[in-house]
Structure 1
Amino acid sequence: MTRNNYAPYITITREEWAKRSDDPMLHLLKDIDALHGLNEPLTTEEITQIYVPLSRLLNLYVTAAQGLHTATNSFLGSQIHKVPYIIGIAGSVAVGKSTTARVLQRLLSAWPNHPRIALVTTDGFLYPNRVLEQKGIMNRKGFPESYDIRRLIQFLASVKSGKGKVTAPVYSHLEYDILPNELQTIESPDIVIVEGVNVLQVRPRHPQAQREPAIFVSDFFDFSIYVDAEEKDLQEWYVERFKSLRRTAFQSPDSYFHRYAHLSDEESEFFARGIWNEINKPNLELNIMPTRFRASLILEKGSHHFVQSLKLRKT
C-alpha cells in the first residue's frame, strides 16, 4: 500500500486489498454466472479478492451511518425514520458497471444489518426515444442531456427522505427504449445502488440551469464508485460486446438492433467502432472521465477486465 500525502486517495494494490477478504461469504458465489454481463469475465477469484473486501468496507460505512442515526435519535429524544444508504456506481459504457452493481447487491444483502438492497440503473431515466427524436438528440443517447435529470433527482429525493414506496421507470435494452407501462418499485430498502454512466456529473446541463438550485444526482450519494479502464480497452470491450449481441440478442425480431443481425464479424466491427468514435468516445472524454476523481473509490481495471488496483479516498 502506497500513501501520498499530497493526493486525496490511498492507492492499494490488488494483493493488499485481497487480504481483507472474508471466507464465510464464499457460499454466495455458487451462481456467479448469473451476475456478470456479456463478454465481462467474472471469476470466484475476482469476487473473493475484490468484491468481498469491498462489501466489508461498505458494511463498515453503512454500520457507521446507522450508528449516527441512532445517536441523533437519542440526542433529539425522538424516533426519526431511518433513510437508505445510497451507493453510486459510474464509469464508461462497456466497463462493467452493471456486473459490479449486481455482485455488490448480492454480497451486501448477506450482511444482517442491511439485508434489503435495491438496484436502480439510470437507463430508466433516459427520455423515451420519441422525446429524443423530437429534441434532435437521438444520436446523443447516454449524454447528460438525454436523461430526465429532474425526474431522477425527484426519485432520489424521495428515497433519501425515507418514503416507504418509490417507483422508477424501466428501460429495455432489447427494445432500446423506456417501457411505458412498467415501473420498478422500491420499498423501504436499507441500501440503494444507483448505476449509470453520468451519475457523478455536476456540470450544468444548459445555461438556465445555473439560475436553478444546484442539486446534482451525486448529492444524494453516501458512497460512490468509479469503474475505470484505459480507453483502448474500453473500445475493444465495446466492439466485442457488439459482435456478441449481433449473434444473440440482435437475432430477436423484437430487438431494436435486429437490422444488424445479418452483419458479418468484419461489418459488425466496423459499425461498432463507428458508434464508439461518434458517440461513446466523446461522451467518455467530455462527460464521464472528468468525474472520475469525484468518486469515493476508483476500481482500476486492466486489459483482462479484472481489477488490478484501487484508489480509496482519504477520510
Structure 2
Amino acid sequence: MASPYVTFSREQWRGLRASTPLTISDEELACLQGLNEKLSLTEVADIYLPLSRLLNLHVGATQELYQATHTFLGNLEKKVPFIIGIAGSVAVGKSTTARILQTLLSRWPNHPKVDLVTTDGFLYPNRILEERGLMKRKGFPESYNTRRLVSFLSDVKSGVSEVAAPVYSHLVYDIVPDEWQIVREPDILIVEGLNVLQTPLDENQRRLTEVFVSDFFDFSIYVDAQEDLIKKWYIDRFKLLRQTAFSDPASYFKRYASLSDTEATQVATSIWNEINGINLRKNILPTRGRARLILEKGEDHMIQKVKLRRL
C-alpha cells in the first residue's frame, strides 16, 4: 500500500549528512541526554546531523520566502521565528531530541538563536486539576490550557518582541507561581510536548478550537518506539529517580525514594498501565501520522528508521 512517507534505514539516513560538521562534544552530549539514555556521538552524527541539515534547509527556504513576500509587498517587516514541534510519549526521549536539535541548530550561521519551550508550562496548576478531578489525567489533552498555548504561539508567530511562557517544575510537580520563560524573537523556536500534534475534540468528536497548536508549526517531528520499549524505559527511569529527584525533600514524589526495586517496579508499572499507557494509545499515538518526520527507535534509544513525509 502506498505511504505518504519515504522510509530511510539508518544507513541511508546517515548518508544524507553530507559535510555537516559535528559540533557537539562528549561532555555536551552527557548534559543533553536524559537520565537513562546513553547516546553516543555516533548517534548524533548518524541521525541528528542529517536532521539538522534538513531543518537548516527548511529554515533557509522559509527565510527566502519571507524576503520574497516582503519585497513584493514593499515593506520591511522582520521575519518571524521558524517553529518546530516535537511530539511523543512520556519516556520516549523527545526532550533529549529537542535539546540535541536546539544545540545543533544554534550552530548554523543563519539561525544562531534557538529557543526551546516545553508544553509542561501550559498544564493547569494542580489546584485546578484537583478541582476538576484531573490529577490522575495529568498529561492528557484536557489537563492543558490549550487556549493559552495557542495564544502564546500566535504571539510568537506574529513577531511580538517578548512572549512569556509559564514555568513548570518536575520537582514539585506543579506550575511555578510568578516565574516565566521569556522568548525574545528567536530564529527558531522548538516546542516539545506530549500532545503538540493533537486536534482537540469534545465527546461528540467536534472541534474544541478553530486553531490547533500544530497550525503554528513549520515542521513537526514524532519520536516513536514500540510501547513495550517505552514502558521499560519509563520503569527504568522511575527506579533511577529514587536516587536523584525523588530523594530531594522538596520533591512531590519523595514518598517513592525509599521503595525497593521490586516495589518501585510495581508502582511504575501501575502508573504506566493506569495513566501513561492509556494516554499514549488514546491520545498521543493517533497523532503520529500528522508529523512531517518520524524517528523510530529500537533498543537503547537508537534510531532504526526515519520516515519523512512526501511533499
- TM value normalised by structure 2: 0.97
Go from structure 1 to structure 2 and tell me whether the alpha carbon gap of 1:184 and 1:205 turns closer, same or farther (over 3 Å shift).
farther
CA contact (8 A) 2:88 2:284 kept: yes
Provide the rounded CA distance (Å) in 2 between the counterparts of 1:140 and 1:166: 28
1:109 to 98, 102, 106: 106
CA apart distance, 1:206: 5.5
Shift of 1:28: 2.5
Aligned ranges 1:1-315 → 2 under 5 Å: 6-21=2-17, 25-30=21-26, 31-205=28-202, 210=207, 213-315=209-311
Moved more, 69-78 or 291-300: 69-78
Aligned identity (percent) is 60
User: Quick one: which amino acid aligns to residue 66 of structure 2?
Assistant: H
SS at match of 2:168: strand
The CA distance in 2 between the partners of 1:28 and 1:45, in whole Å, is: 11
Write out the 4+ residue segments of structure 1 that deviate beyond 6 Å after TM superposition. Answer: none
| 1:207 positional shift | 5.5
Alignment length (residue pairs): 310
Structure 1 residues 105-141: Cα deviation after superposition (integer angstroms, max 9, x where no partner): 0000001110110100000000011110000010000
Q: How far 1:20 sits from its partner (Å)?
A: 2.0
The 1:47–1:14 alpha-carbon spacing in structure 2 relative to 1, beyond 3 Å, is same
Compute the RMSD of aligned alpha carbons: 1.4
Local SS of the residue matching 1:19? helix
| Alpha-carbon shift at residue 203 of structure 1 (Å) | 3.2
| Residue type of the alignment partner of 1:290 | P
Tell me the SS of whatever aligns to 1:310: strand
* Contact 1:144-1:205 within 8 A present in 2 as well: no
Residue identity opposite 1:103 in structure 2: I
TM-aligned CA distance change 1:282 to 1:188, over 3 Å:
same
Q: For 1:22 and 1:44, locate their aligned partners in 2 and report how far apart those are by CA, in whole Å.
A: 16
Distance 1:187 1:205 in 2: 34
Deviations 1:141-178 (A, max 9, x none): 00000000010000000001011100100000011110
8 Å contact kept, 2:98–2:192: yes
Mind listing any 5+ residue stretches in structure 1 that lack a counterpart?
none
Is the 1:95–1:237 Cα contact (8 Å) retained in structure 2? yes
Q: Distance in 1 between matches of 2:205 and 2:18?
A: 50
Aligned residues of 1:22 and 1:48 also touching (Cα < 8 A): no
Contact 2:114/2:189, CA 8 A, preserved across alignment:
yes
3-state SS, counterpart of residue 28 of structure 1:
coil
Asked whether the 8 Å contact 1:145–1:205 carries over to 2, the reply is no
Distance 1:283 1:208, change over 3 A: closer
Compute the displacement of 1:209 (Å): 6.5
**1:209/1:75 Cα in 2 relative to 1: closer, same or farther (>3 Å)?**
same
After TM superposition, the score normalised by the length of structure 1 is 0.96
